[in-house]
Amino acid sequence: MNPYKINKALFYEIPVKTTPKNVQEANEGLFRAKMTLPAAANHCGMTQKEMKLTFWEYLKYHKPDYEN
């Protein structure tokens, strides 16, 4: 048995279904800076570009709730 044999099944990412709950969690994570953009996109099964566009829409309707 070869100890250097790589199991290809470990490199396959299970696709995530995009649901409103996942998108809301990702947007709130980005808004509070608890998630990075790539992590948020993976969390809800989107590309980074789709997540960026979705987050910009989120920012339109959710004004900052903090003071400078």
**Distance separating the N- and C-terminal Cα atoms of the chain:** 62
- At residue 15, the pLDDT reads 87
Average pLDDT over residues 36-65: 95
Helix runs in 1-68, H state only: 20-31, 37-44, 48-61
Q: pLDDT by residue (tens digit) across 8-50?
A: 777 888 889 999 999 999 999 999 999 999 999 999 999 999 9
pTM of the entire predicted model: 0.78
Is pLDDT above 70 for 1? no
